[in-house]
Amino acid sequence: MHPSDRIFVTGSTGMVGSAIVRALQMQGFGNIVCPSSSELDLTDTIQVERFFDEHRPQLVFHGAGKVGGIYANQQYPVDYLADNLEIYTNVIKAAFRVKARKLLFIGSSCVYPNSAPQPIPEAALLTGPFEPALEFFGTAKLAGIKLCQAYRRQHGFDAICVMPSSLYGPGDYFDLERAHVLPALLRRFHEAKLGEKQSLAIWGSGEPRREFLHVDDFAKAAVFLMRYYSDEQVINVGYGEDIQILELARLIRSVVGFEGEIELDRTRPDGVRQKLLDITRARELGWAPRIPLREGLESTYRWMLENPETMRS
Ligand SMILES: NC(=O)c1ccc[n+]([C@@H]2O[C@H](COP(=O)([O-])OP(=O)(O)OC[C@H]3O[C@@H](n4cnc5c(N)ncnc54)[C@H](OP(=O)(O)O)[C@@H]3O)[C@@H](O)[C@H]2O)c1
């Protein structure tokens, strides 16, 4: 990578894309194009082709797409399948057509089978069915990964696929319809503190274990892998440690300063018991996460308070 490289970051108004733009700028890359979806609709093949013809990016970070949880997947299966298929395909094909040097596609750990060994190695991909509640989103993601692999095999195009664990940090969503578990807990504990509640109930037994990586660590990994990774196999990027949901809730209670009790709402489902990525390969290449969970939670909580609009639906 060279500081003058023309770089296209898709999804740059989102949490991950904006973190990648920040990481690139911090590392001295100044030639970045990053239109919002209102400026460039990536589902529109003609718009995408024109954009690539005009800008001819040399490097592409491709994380744009419809992102949502189980509820949204059930409600809007067409958006998660058809729109994402278009967004992934249009960009990958156009990048190859204009002879971009390299493309990094952002996958998702949700396409690993629920039955995968823990920590999950990259080789677990396609060894079993993935979470049925995410089947539309997951099918599109898998197709994006396979398209990158197909371009590499058939045309030698340097397209790589990175598999992040759950990410959190500035730019996250704190509205309860959309938020993932970590931002949802930050918000709920914050509101319980303001409301001087005696207790706060978290879903399930609190026993499942999850992994959370700060998005700025992920963004640095993405830039690092753009420089140093070139292979057909996907590569995992995570924090390398998981935490029990009850432990996470205790940590967030302490960060927020809520003094009430934590209750367990055992009528709610737990989901899979554990989800931890094996990040040995990324570590062996020389990348490691830097932001400890507590520190990341503190800065994310501050960011949420400074950006109250992110709590609205
Ligand atoms: N967040 C996580 O924990 C996590 C974990 C694993 C993988 N990932 C992956 O990381 C990527 C980014 O996730 P995120 O959390 O940053 O999501 P996000 O905040 O919702 O950002 C999604 C981005 O995609 C853009 N986009 C959506 N539809 C578009 C369209 N038709 N044309 C152009 N742009 C469009 C959005 O643009 P507008 O805002 O302008 O609409 C936004 O910038 C996704 O591929 C996701 O699967 C995320």
Q: Is residue 219 within 6 Å of ligand 1 at its C-beta? A: no
Separation of alpha carbons 151 and 45, rounded Å: 18
Q: Please list the residues that pair with 106 across neighbouring strands.
A: 162
Q: What is the pLDDT of residue 73?
A: 83
Interval between CA 63 and ligand 1 midpoint (Å): 6
What pLDDT, in 10s, does the model give residues 18-53? 999 999 999 999 999 999 999 999 999 999 999 999
Tokens of 47: 């718009």
What pLDDT, in 10s, does the model give residues 243-281? 999 999 999 999 999 999 999 999 988 888 899 999 999
Interval between CA 222 and ligand 1 midpoint (Å): 15
Task: Work out the percent of the chain whose per-residue pLDDT is above 90.
Answer: 88
Task: Work out the percent of the chain whose per-residue pLDDT is above 70.
Answer: 99
Query: Which atom of ligand 1 is nearest the CA belonging to 180?
Result: 3
Beta strands in the chain (DSSP E): 7-10, 32-33, 59-62, 102-106, 159-164, 166-168, 199-203, 209-210, 212-214, 235-237, 243-244, 261-265, 274-275
Residue 69 has pLDDT above 80, yes or no: no
* Mean pLDDT value across residues 205-210: 95
Separation of alpha carbons 12 and 204, rounded Å: 34
Residue 307 has pLDDT above 70, yes or no: yes
Residue 160 has pLDDT above 70, yes or no: yes
Separation of alpha carbons 161 and 102, rounded Å: 11
Tokens of 237: 């990027």
The residue assigned the tokens 């400074």 is 306
Q: What is the pLDDT of residue 313?
A: 59
Separation of alpha carbons 9 and 18, rounded Å: 9
Interval between CA 194 and ligand 1 midpoint (Å): 31
Which amino acid residue places its CA nearest to atom 28 of ligand 1? 65
The mean of the pLDDT values for the chain is 95
Residue 309 has pLDDT above 80, yes or no: yes
Query: Which atom of ligand 1 is nearest the CA belonging to 164?
Result: 6
* Cis bond upstream, residue 119 (ω within 30): yes
Give the angle 92-93-97 at the CA atoms, nearest 5°: 120
